[in-house]
Chains A and B, each alone.
Chain A
Amino acid sequence: MGHTTYLEAAGAGALSVRRAVQGKRLLVTGVTGFLGKVWLAHLLQNAPDVAEVIVLIRPKKGESASARLDRIIERSPAFRALRDAHGEGYERFVRGKLRGVEARLTQPLAGLGADAAPLLADIDAVVHFAGLTDFEPDPLMALDANVRGARHAADLAALSRGRIYLHVSTAFVAGVDTDDVREHIERGLAPNGVRFSPERELQDLEAELGRLERKQDRIDACMARAQRLGWPNVYTYTKGLAEHLLEGRQDVRAATFRPSIVECALSYPFTGWNEGVNTSGPIVWLLGTSFQRFPARAENVFDIAPVDTAARRLSLVLAAQLAGERDAVGVYTCASGTVNPFTFGRAVEMTGLAQRRLHRGSGDRWRRNVVSRLDAVCFGVQDEQAFGHARLRRLARATRSWLRENPPKEQLSPRMHRKLGGRRLDDNVRSCSMKCRTADRKLGQIDDMLRQYRPFIHDHDYRFRTERLAALSERLAPGEREAFAFDVADIDWRHYWMDVEVPGLETWSIPILRGEKVPEDEPRVVANARRTRSPRYGRSVDAAE
């Protein structure tokens, strides 16, 4: 489709993603992540006239940046729809559009050094997905990934031709400010209303973390800092800090995209796709066990953004930025709770019902006959139930302790001991003690997980406003609505949860929690491209081996 056609398609005031990205060069970080992959594949499929997308990839232990990119292109299910759309021409198309560059965002200029300037000379926009999404990681890592990484990515944008920067954050930087969360940030105003200096906070944090040797001490220190400003955990604190630092920059035209909980795809690349372990994965896994008392407030909103809706909406923000719209700066929130609320009560109940379906066909009698008949319910954490996990854990500990302190051999007379099985009795008691230890450990993991989730599933009920993003969506050119528009009001949560989310998690996420591998796609074609070194940038990894 030619340029004039785009102009014709998009009326006056209309927003055309295809027109905006046509002929543009984008620099993207974090495409190895869930949202990044889907967004990239969706953009390449629906706006194929983008000139080039350069992806910055960090090499991992045992896997080069080149190998990581090749793996995504050839095997990731996120690219399945794109592969199917291009058929035999896929390799040629994707290699013509995508170029990988080895980089480390934790270093200034992503470690590109002298290669940075020529690389950035013809870049129109930088899209920064990379980040650490664990709720309680080592703060040193979170600081590197979420704060320094974002700062370095913005530095790259500042040196680029377009000086456009799109920062992917999270809606939960709202922290304790839960009601009516606007698409807005006021630099230096923390979620709890306390004024602070972002630079000073960063300096103090770096200094404090530098003094602490133990990871747990660093987590505790970081949590104390976070909570003092109204952020519930390390993740939202570091993401929030990055936003505040970005807000003060005058050298880039920056927009921040805040998705809520990014979950299984509604339709792109295909229904139910998910990658890794996201927020709902552990919850759904937990409710599929005999653990049936879930500490959440039933009426609280469970704000979900299916990954493909988030990807579409992110493209709208980028298009507005590339189109040079003056207002395309600041915060855009991608969430569903205000327009089409879905509650924890519904999620927990439907997860139980979905698990029934799965367990009823199971070959495991325990699952088929017992677990399938159990139903999870929400309860307030202050109303600990008779069979709540904390009590069960205490019971397991006490039982194990009692069994260890009272071995049958010592407690029983030799005659009674022999009569009750002798050595077999000892073995059974030992086995029971081991099972109690395993139960204690597993319940401890669950306890830890629920503690980390608690601010989001119990303590706070977020209401994110999304008017700015909705306004962009309304202005979308009519010919592009099918590809880029999506109205969260259209989501039928019952269908989504029963037929998309739970089956998707069962296929793509829960096996990981069980220590199993999830399938990747078989490569369509053995890549016949040769490794080439870009004459301009020594570290290009744009071709398969």
Chain B
Amino acid sequence: MTDDAPRTAAFFRLEGVLLRRPTLAAAAYLASNGQGVGERVARLGNVALAAPLALLGELRVGAAQARMTWMGLRGMSEDRLVLLGEEYFEEYLKDDVTDVGKELLKQARRDGRRVVLVSDNVDHVVGPVADLLGADDLICNRLELRHGKATGRLEEPVISGNVAGPWLRRFAGEHGVSVDGSWAYGASGADALLLSAIGQPCAVNPDRQLRRLAKDHDWPVVDG
């Protein structure tokens, strides 16, 4: 490959492809470890409200589910978010990386692709995962902070099933990446837009919805 040739990237949806735990579990962990018992109950209740939306799927409810999930952390201090994020990573995520995900990551690096992790989780939780996996970029949600406390809102752009065509082309343009030569790995129906916008889509341990789409579009499917 010459220096002038557009580079390629490998987009990994973190949840499902590299990690088994869903985003909602991280939000529930942070909420249930608030400062004080009453605060924990209130926060956890708020996160629970997002569960039905999660069942409907990101494609149907869009960013609303992500917003609802993290709204319960309003007023939580940045110190607590950072430290609980590290704690959650140490306890639940560090050893949770799937074998198939590790293999695909290795393959992407061997092929010289830029490794981009995409997650609807927040940076306090998935930041350490990106460091662990040596990712080049991490596209995730960021909690809006004011005076050292979370406002309960997410910074724009909110990451959910919207990581798709326009977003992908903008990212590719900014980083000199070829969309046609790049790969994307998804695991749920919510990743369908991302996979359909990329040159080389791949479904990894897909749910029923994505498996059907993969079959219809003749995308490769990796189970493991």
Contact yes or no, B80 A349, CB < 8 A: yes
Is A375's CB under 8 angstroms from B36's CB?
Answer: yes
Please, could you name 26 A-B residue pairs with CB atoms under 8 Å apart, sorted by A? A346-B77, A346-B79, A346-B148, A349-B35, A349-B77, A349-B80, A350-B79, A350-B83, A352-B35, A353-B79, A353-B80, A353-B83, A353-B84, A356-B87, A357-B87, A375-B33, A375-B34, A375-B35, A375-B36, A376-B35, A377-B35, A377-B36, A494-B79, A494-B82, A494-B83, A498-B83
- CB neighbours of B35 from chain A (8 A): 349, 352, 375-377
List 12 extra interface pairs beyond A349-B35, A494-B82, A494-B83, CB under 8 A. A345-B77, A349-B80, A350-B79, A353-B79, A353-B80, A353-B83, A353-B84, A356-B87, A375-B34, A375-B35, A377-B35, A494-B79
- Would you give the 0/1 interface string for B14-42, flagging 1 where the beta carbon is closer than 8 Å to chain A? 00000000000000000001111000000
Listed residue (B35, B36, B82) with the most chain A CB atoms within 10 angstroms of its CB:
B35
Hey, what's the 0/1 contact readout for A372-409 against B, CB within 8 Å counting as 1? 00011100000000000000000000000000000000
Which residues of the partner chain A approach B84 to less than 8 Å between Cβ atoms? 353
CA of A494 to CA of B87, assembled, Å? 15
B-facing mask of A484-511, CB < 8 A → 1, else 0?
Answer: 0000000000100010000000000000
Closest to A348 in B: B35
Task: Give min CB distance, A485 to chain B, whole Å.
Answer: 27
The 5 closest A-B pairs by CB, nearest first: A375-B35, A353-B83, A377-B36, A494-B79, A350-B79
Residue of B nearest to A375 (CB): B35
Closest-CB distance, B208 to chain A (whole angstroms): 38
Report the separation of the CA atoms of residues A350 and B80 in the bound assembly, to the nearest whole angstrom.
Answer: 7
Which residues of chain A are near B82, meaning CB under 8 Å? 494
| Complex alpha-carbon distance, A377 and B36, angstroms | 7
Q: Give A355-374 as 1s and 0s: 1 = Cβ < 8 Å from B's Cβ atoms.
A: 01100000000000000000
A304 to B84, CA, bound (A): 25
Residues of chain B within 8 A (CB-CB) of A345 are: 77
Name A's B-contacting residues (CB within 8 A): 345-346, 349-350, 352-353, 356-357, 375-377, 494, 498
When distances are taken between beta carbons in the complex, the residues of chain A under 8 Å from B36 are 375, 377
- Closest B residue, CB atoms, query A345: B77
A350 to B82, CA, bound (A): 11
Cα A377 to Cα B87 in complex, Å, equals: 20
Assembly CA distance A494 to B77 (angstroms): 11
Q: Please, which residue of chain A has its CB at the minimum distance from the CB of B36? A: A377
Q: In the docked arrangement, what's the CA distance between A239 and B111, Å?
A: 70
How far is it, in angstroms, between the C-alpha of A199 and the C-alpha of B55 when the chains are bound? 79
Cβ distance B35 to chain A, nearest Cβ, rounded Å: 5
In the assembled complex, the CB of B92 is this many whole angstroms from the nearest CB of chain A, namely 13
Task: Give A352 to B40 CA distance when docked, in angstroms.
Answer: 15
| Min CB gap B42→A, angstroms | 14
What is the minimal beta-carbon distance from B153 to any residue of chain A, in angstroms? Answer: 22
Nearest CB of chain A from residue B57's CB, rounded to whole Å: 34
Tell me the bound Cα distance from A353 to B84 in angstroms: 8
* Cα of A357 to Cα of B80 in the assembled complex, Å: 13
Name B148's closest neighbour in chain A (CB-CB). A346
Q: How far is the CA of A345 from the CA of B87 in the complex (A)?
A: 21
CB neighbours of A349 from chain B (8 A): 35, 77, 79-80
In the bound complex, CA of A356 to CA of B87 (Å): 10
Query: A14 → chain B, closest Cβ, in Å?
Result: 37
Residues of the A chain whose Cβ atoms lie less than 8 Å from the Cβ of B79: 346, 349-350, 353, 494
Q: Say how far A149's CB is from chain B's closest CB, in angstroms.
A: 41
In the complex, A498 Cα to B85 Cα: how many Å?
14
Mark contacts of B74-107 with chain A using CB atoms, 8 A cut-off: 1 yes-contact digit, 0 otherwise. 0001011011100100000000000000000000
How far apart sit A494 and B148, CA to CA, in the bound complex (Å)? 12
CB distance from B157 to the nearest CB of A (A): 27
- Chain B proximity of A341: nearest CB distance (Å): 11
B96 to chain A, nearest CB (A): 18
How long is the Cα–Cα vector from A357 to B86 in the complex, in angstroms? 11
Q: How far apart are B99's CB and chain A's nearest CB, in angstroms? A: 28
CB-CB nearest in chain B for A356: B87
- Give Cα A357 to B77, complex, Å: 18
Q: Which residues of B contact A375 (CB under 8 A)?
A: 33-36
Looking at the assembled complex, report how far the CB atom of B76 sits from the nearest CB atom of chain A, in whole angstroms. 10
Of all chain B residues, the one with the shortest Cβ separation from A374 is B37
Give chain B nearest CB distance to A165 CB in angstroms: 42
Please give me the residue from chain B that is nearest to A292 by CB atom. Answer: B36
State the Cβ distance, A326 to closest chain B Cβ, in Å. 43
* Interface residue ranges of B191-214 to A (CB < 8 Å): none
| B17 nearest CB across to chain A (Å) | 30
- Complex Cα distance A349/B77, Å? 9
A357 to B33, CA, bound (A): 13
Considering the chains assembled together, what is the distance between the CA atoms of A174 and B112 in angstroms? Answer: 63
Q: In this complex, what residue of B is CB-closest to A373?
A: B33
B residues in contact with A353, CB < 8 Å: 79-80, 83-84
* A356 contact set on B, CB distance < 8 A: 87
Point out which of A349, A353, A357, A498 has the most chain B C-beta atoms below 10 A from its C-beta: A353
> Which residue from chain B places its CB closest to the CB of A343 in the assembled complex?
B148
List the A side residues contacting B33 at CB < 8 Å.
375
Chain B residues within an 8 Å CB radius of A346: 77, 79, 148
State the CA gap A375–B87 with chains docked (Å): 15
B148 contacts across to A, CB distance below 8 A? 346
- Chain B, residues 143-154, CB within 8 Å of chain A (1/0): the string is 000001000000
**Which of chain B's residues has its CB closest to A376's CB?**
B35
- Give the distance to chain B from A39, nearest Cβ to Cβ, in Å: 31
**Which among B36, B83, B87 has the greatest number of chain A C-beta atoms within 10 A?**
B83
| B contact residues around A352 at 8 Å (CB) | 35
Q: Which residues of B contact A377 (CB under 8 A)?
A: 35-36
Q: How many angstroms between the C-alpha atoms of A425 and B21 in the bound complex?
A: 51
A155 to chain B, nearest CB (A): 49
Interface residues of B in 55-86 (CB under 8 A from A): 77, 79-80, 82-84
Inter-chain contacts of B87 with A (CB < 8 A):
356-357
Min CB distance A503 to B, Å, is: 14
Residues of A within 8 A of B77 (CB): 345-346, 349
A498 to B77, CA, bound (A): 15
B82 to chain A, nearest CB (A): 7
For residue B63, give the distance in angstroms from its CB to the closest CB of chain A: 30
A498 to B79, CA, bound (A): 10
A498 CB contacts on chain B under 8 angstroms: 83
Bound CA span A28–B83, Å: 43
**A214: shortest Cβ distance to chain B, in Å?**
43
Q: Which residues, 131 to 177 on B, are CB-close (under 8 Å) to A?
A: 148
A346 to B76, CA, bound (A): 12
A351 CB, min distance to chain B CBs, angstroms: 11
